[in-house]
Amino acid sequence: MNLKSKDLLGLRDLSAEEISHILETAKTMKLVLASKNKKTPHLQGKSIITLFYENSTRTRLSFELASKYMSASAANISASSSSVSKGETLIDTGKTIDMMGADVIIIRHPMSGAPHLLSKNVSASVINAGDGMNEHPTQALLDMFTIQEKKGRLQGLKVALIGDIYHSRVARSNIWGLLKMGAEVCVAGPATLLPPDIERTGVKVYSTVQEALIEADVVMGLRIQLERQKKGLFPSIREYSKFFGVDDKRLLLAKDDALLLHPGPVNRGVELSSSVVDGESSLINEQVTNGVAIRMALLYLLTRREQH
């Protein structure tokens, strides 16, 4: 089956069938990663450009390696070192890249909607690697892949997202994706960090982390950005971690075989205690590997699509 759109802007736009197809494809890609010779010809002759207006180590490297493992030509543009800092608009930058023959542009941008604007103005496929507070679809896809790999399904699982939901694009993408695949999603965080009317998406909202953790199959910690403290959203990191941090004791509330996820990088001792990060339930390292597999799958599906 073909992905409907030339772009991957968010999980809000994808159907459950498309999500399943991507997860299936990623299974095959993971085998390539596990093999001794990590090289396939699937993207030979294809040009993949990452355009990052925000810092990132793992996501950018993940996309770059995914491209190179599949024999694509890959190049990076980061905002600070380019004409973007000279004030070039997003559309102009995008068109320039497009005109040089890019097949896929992977964009991370601090403002919600930037990938959408870009996609309307380039013929290349646009992958959203994180836009403002809106979506981070490849992260949610790798999270779902990780869960499905261990649990064999997504339907009916209770997934708890804990932390700064308000600012989290990872939370939003996961909410869209997991609900579409039939999981039960709940969120918990300080009242000042819960988005207005979030329950209208279909998630349950809890005001304490304990309530959210009870009988959870999956616990996902979200990063707290330390700068938020200055904006009066919460008084201190210590207070956040005391009331909302996930540690061994709180994790006992979840199911015995509960999975622990985090998009990384973890603020150890803040949203997750170190022992939980390094503990048996933690799949944080698996997530990283799965991230490459998911991105390989997406690049394959999007570039294969244009041949039709």
Partner 1 sequence: MKTLIKNGHIVDPKTKRNGVYDILIEEGRIKEIGSGFDEAGCDIIDASGMHVLPGLVDAHCHLRDPGYEYKEDIESGTQSAAMGGFTSIACMPNTNPVIDNEAVIKYVMDKGRQEGYVNVFPIGAITKGQKGEELAEIGEMKFAGAVAISDDGKPVKNSSLMKKALQYASMFDIAVISHSEDTDLSEEGVMNEGYRSTIMGLKGIPSAAESVAVAREVLLAEYTRTPVHIAHVSTEQSVDLIRNAKKRGVNVTCETCPHYFSITEDACEGFNTYAKVNPPLRTQRDVEAVIEGLRDGTIDIIATDHAPHHPDEKNVEFSLAASGLVGFETALPLAVTYLVIPGILTMEKLIEKMCVNPSALLGLNKGSLEVGRAADITIVDLNEEYTVDIEKFKSKSKNSPFNGFKLKGAVKYTIVDGVAVVREKVLL
CB of 114 to partner 1, least distance (A): 5
CB of 300 to partner 1, least distance (A): 27
Q: How far is CA 284 from CA 72, 121, 158, 166, 222, in A?
A: 28, 36, 18, 22, 12
CB of 169 to partner 1, least distance (A): 6
Which residue of 22, 29, 74, 90 would you call a contact of partner 1, by CB under 8 A? 90
Distance separating alpha carbons of residues 140 and 151, to the nearest angstrom: 16
Residue number with CB closer to partner 1 (9 or 298): 9
Whole-angstrom Cα Rg for the chain: 19
CB of 227 to partner 1, least distance (A): 13
Residue number with CB closer to partner 1 (117 or 237): 117
Contacts of partner 1 in 109-148 (CB under 8 A)? 109, 111-114, 116-117, 131-135
Does position 228 interact with partner 1 (CB under 8 A)? The reply is: no
Residue number with CB closer to partner 1 (119 or 146): 119
| Number of chain positions touching partner 1 (CB under 8 A) | 24
In the complex, the residues that contact partner 1 under the rule CB under 8 A are 12, 89-91, 109, 111-114, 116-117, 131-135, 169, 172, 195-198, 200-201
